[in-house]
Structure 1
Amino acid sequence: MTLDNLAVPLRALRLLAVDFPNLPAPDVDVSPIYPEWLRLSFHDTTCDSLAAFEQWRSVLRIGADTVDCRTQNGGRTRVLKAEGLFAGAVIVLTAYADQPAADRTPTGQAGGIR
């Protein structure tokens, strides 16, 4: 595999940076394992990462009804995940935030999240 095989997600990232420069900066992942995917993730102990996720989801026109909401880490971490298409790339949005103590349960463990 060559860098050229990652052209689709890299092109999408370039377009996102030009078109939406004021959005919160995500962690970015491009991998030859999934050469059509651009993963954007947000990690924060506050709900700021969830707000950033929602801003990106809205801009990318990913339906709220497609968002997968789970918990992991024994119910202590909330995880939001959604996928959409942009410039030919599959965009995978993921956000992690502390689950409020009152809402913590050991159920809803994340499983199969890419």
Structure 2
Amino acid sequence: MTEPLTLAGLSVPMRALRTLAAEYGDLPTPTVGITPIFPERLDLSLHNGLGEFESWRLALDIRPEHVELREQSGDTWTLRGTAPYAGAEIHLIAYGPTLNSMQAVAGDGGRDA
């Protein structure tokens, strides 16, 4: 049986988070996840649409060809990217509505006026 992880065992993603906050404090606030299941990983989730992803992608130097676009639940798109940063593995994900779901909300089938 392995020894349980201590809080000090999560110092790598916590240090990366501190560094991100110091260097990029003006970027949109993500939901932050740190877990003992992946003690070297820092998860950053953006839930206000896909637009915020680009500023984080640039800050983390994630190349466009390494970004994945996925459809989730038929009405949500996600953008995903991974990058090393300050010794941690950063997992960046943004959630936003698909075009079909935006058209349904607009109620006009997406046609221009």
CA distance in 1, matches of 2:20, 2:70: 27
Q: Does the CA-based 8 Å contact 2:16-2:85 persist in structure 1?
A: yes
Alpha-carbon distance, 1:102 to partner: 7.4
Residue 42 in structure 1 maps to residue 41 in structure 2: no
After TM superposition, the runs of 4+ consecutive aligned structure 1 residues lying more than 6 A away are: none
Alpha-carbon distance, 1:57 to partner: 0.6
Q: Which runs of 5+ in 2 are unaligned?
A: 104-113
SS at match of 1:83: strand
Q: Does the CA-based 8 Å contact 2:13-2:34 persist in structure 1?
A: yes
Alpha-carbon distance, 1:93 to partner: 0.2
> Identity across aligned pairs (percent)?
43
Alignment of structure 1 residues 82-101 onto 2, 5 Å: 82-101=81-100
Alpha-carbon distance, 1:60 to partner: 0.8
TM norm structure 1: 0.82
- 2:109 maps to what in 1? none
Residue 8 in structure 1 maps to residue 8 in structure 2: no
- 1:58 maps to what in 2? 58
Which residue identity does 2:92 align to in structure 1?
L
Higher strand content, 1 or 2: 1
Determine which structure has more spread, i.e. the larger CA radius of gyration: 2
Alpha-carbon distance, 1:101 to partner: 1.0
Which residue identity does 1:35 align to in structure 2?
P
Aligned residues: 99
Match of 1:23 among 19, 23, 27: 27
TM norm structure 2: 0.83
